[in-house]
Structure 1
Amino acid sequence: MNEKAKMVPVNNIMQPVETVHPAMNIHNKNYADLSKPSAYGCISGERKYHDLLLSVFQLRHRVFKERLQWDVSSINGHEIDKFDIHDTKYIITTDTESNVKGCVRILPTTSPYMLSEIFPFLWQSESPIPCSASIYELSRFAFEKEQSVKGYGFSSSVIKLLRNLILYAKDKKIEQFIFVTTTIIERMLKIQGISIERIGSEISMRNAKTVVTIMNINSQTEKSIFG
């Protein structure tokens, strides 16, 4: 190992910054962005998506570390955690210069995911925490604020992100998304008309009222997003 390699703490273990995630080796020219997202805005943790991944992690840093002031780890302005690995999937929207304006991470519930590993205490149901090929978890939902949006409506970039998410779900035969969110986002989803279900009652966490929510991929959700 290069003794001059920059070291960062990950799960209390010091690691070279480039081993934390393939995209974090910012200065390695071999990691140039060689690919664009799919038709529904899907990218993965593969190195070919290097530039887009960096933009995702930068957006998450601005939203979660700076705007919301969550207790999350950031490396040189990039918010990243142990679930950001090679085969992790992300749905994104970008501007004309390929800057990520909205993103959400998708994790299968058949593998460790945030609700099962980090927030199991939020699961308030007699049924076991989901573990199904037709149910995926959404996490790290982040988007840039748009000055033109007022009240509780979603911005055009968020609507585009939700459309991409539904297209991805239909392509992959995903029936439900489960996620931890705030009651504010829950209310916005209801106002939009999306088919959602709350699991249990709200819990105060990180200075916000938090709930576990399931989004159903059905005709109601499709109509609410596509019209």
Structure 2
Amino acid sequence: MQALAIHATERDAHCAVIDETHRLRARVFADRLGWDITTRSGCEKDRFDELDVTTIVALTDDGVVAGCARLLPATGPTMVADVFPQLLDGKNLEAHDGMIESSRFCVDTSLATTRGKSLHEATLTMLAGIIEWSIANHYSEIVTVTDTRFERILSRASWPLQRIGQPRMIGEVMSVAGTLPVDRASFLRVRSPRYRSEIAGLQKIAA
């Protein structure tokens, strides 16, 4: 499975892949998880997609989108600060130039792929791709909002979340905000043996 990074300026060149990521988001967040979000024509988008985003994509060997996530500089508008400030426990997000926000992380677990560390290969590919891109672009820390179920998955992948505040119910989901380190050791722990990437920096990180 291969990781791919698509910046906002490259969306037109990868429009088919980007469209499929929005369809995957609709299937996962609206259909499977029942989030209170807006979908149109089978796609899920929000106002953050119009900003300076980079989309990390996991592609199967057949070119099928198996996972995606959205990365956004934390010094600008972010979901954790602007949509879920209650998860910060009354604190300000201590954003800095080395911090990136990850949001809309999802994986198509219906795809038949191998597993590593008992986790779906697409999940491991996504985690490794996010770290690799962040290192290559000089980020040192990731901030994210996730549910406690995925927090446990991160621990199983040996990339534990450092909580910013206490978990709270968001709709029907117990959610938490936290940070994750961006470093070579984390990349080497989470990547699967079959991991491939078109993200600059892989050879330098893995060497």
Query: What is the TM-score normalised by the length of structure 1?
Result: 0.75
Matched residue, 1:143: 107
> Does structure 1 residue 131 correspond to structure 2 residue 95?
yes
1:67 equivalent among 32, 36, 40: 32
**CA-CA distance at 1:110 after TM superposition:** 1.4
> Does structure 1 residue 207 correspond to structure 2 residue 167?
no
> Does structure 1 residue 101 correspond to structure 2 residue 66?
yes
1:50 equivalent among 4, 15, 21: 15
Matched residue, 2:163: 198
Contact 2:148 2:175 in 1 (8 A): yes
Structure 1 consecutive aligned stretches of length 4 or more whose deviation exceeds 6 Å: 147-150
Please provide the CA RMSD for this pair: 2.2
Matched residue, 2:202: none
**CA-CA distance at 1:161 after TM superposition:** 1.4
**CA-CA distance at 1:145 after TM superposition:** 1.1
SS in 2 for 1:98: coil
Matched AA of 1:192:
A
Offset from partner CA, 1:33-59 (integer Å, 9 cap, x none):
xxxxxx851013332221111000000
| Aligned residues between the structures | 187
Name the structure, 1 or 2, with higher relative contact order (CA <8 Å, separation 6+): 2
SS in 2 for 1:57: helix
Assess, with a 3 A threshold, how the Cα gap between structure 1 residues 201 and 153 changes in structure 2: closer, same or farther: farther
Matched AA of 2:15:
H
Matched AA of 1:84:
D
Matched AA of 1:182:
D
Matched residue, 1:170: 135
C-alpha distance in 1, partners of 2:96/2:121?
Answer: 31
Assess, with a 3 A threshold, how the Cα gap between structure 1 residues 122 and 191 changes in structure 2: closer, same or farther: same
C-alpha distance in 2, partners of 1:97/1:43?
Answer: 18
Contact 1:91 1:103 in 2 (8 A): yes
Task: Tell which structure's C-alpha radius of gyration is larger.
Answer: 1
Unaligned runs of 5+ in 2: 193-207
More helix by share: 2
C-alpha distance in 1, partners of 2:114/2:166?
Answer: 29
Contact 1:44 1:86 in 2 (8 A): no
C-alpha distance in 2, partners of 1:116/1:200?
Answer: 13
